[in-house]
Structure formats: structure tokens, C-alpha cells
Copies of this chain bind each other. A is one copy, B any other.
């Protein structure tokens, strides 16, 4: 899974703010990723829906990464995604965690790196990013 999508930096997202992402999942999607953090090597949230990848089927895997070191995976079984369909996902920044808002479901992921500002966002894999908005 390569296909690096757009990268946003210097976002300045603080607790109380949120990022809304819209795009289209590829018709033959295996997996796609959205990363949120300080920069590409300090990821507060690596968000990875897997249709069929790394032995996982229809599962969301989340993790954090500091330099080359991954944290412990958090797995979500609710999988509200369809291949070839548009999707809107909102990430809310809270003081100690992030809330991930999906169609009909939300969950939270701890701010393990203790980031006070989320400046970095990128996507890659079987997903075409169409818009990014924050407030």
C-alpha cells in the first residue's frame, strides 16, 4: 500500500478543534490510512481501516508512532466503510484523546504522545482525498 496522498502541515489543531476529511474509497480497496500528529515521525493517531490487509478483514487498526517505534494496536470491529463509496470522517481533538467520528459510530483513541497541537495530517492507500476542513 503506497499511493501517498496530499499532506497538510502547520495545521495548528488544538483541543476543542476538529478536522473533517472527505474523500472516496477505491473500488478495489484493500486498506487506507490517515495519520494525525506533530509530523510524519510523531503520529498521535495512525488510523488504518483494513478491508483485507495484513490478515485482517473489515477491521480498523489504530496506533501511535514515535520516531520508528509503534505503540500498541487498538482494534475496532465496527467497520462502516464501503469500497468505491464516498466517506466523511471527523477527528475531534480533546485534551487527553481524540474522538473519531464515523458514519453511525464513534470511538476514542488516547493522546499517547501528549501532543498539545496536531499540526500534521496525511493519507495514503486506497483512498482519494477530496477535502480537508477544520474549525
Which A residues form the contact surface with B (CB < 8 A)? 4-12, 22, 130-135
Contacts and interface: CB of A to CB of B under 8 A. Distances in A.
Nearest to A20: B131
A43 to B, nearest CB: 17
Nearest to A134: B130
A135 B9 CA distance: 20
Given A132-B131, A135-B130, A9 B10 contact: no
A8 B129 CA distance: 12
24 contacts: A4-B10, A5-B10, A6-B8, A6-B9, A6-B10, A6-B11, A6-B12, A7-B8, A7-B9, A7-B10, A8-B8, A8-B132, A9-B9, A22-B133, A130-B133, A130-B134, A130-B135, A131-B131, A131-B132, A131-B133, A131-B134, A132-B132, A132-B133, A133-B133
Contacts of A134: 130-131
A132 B104 CA distance: 25
Contacts of A6: 8-12
A5 B13 CA distance: 11
Contacts of A135: 130
Contacts of A4: 10
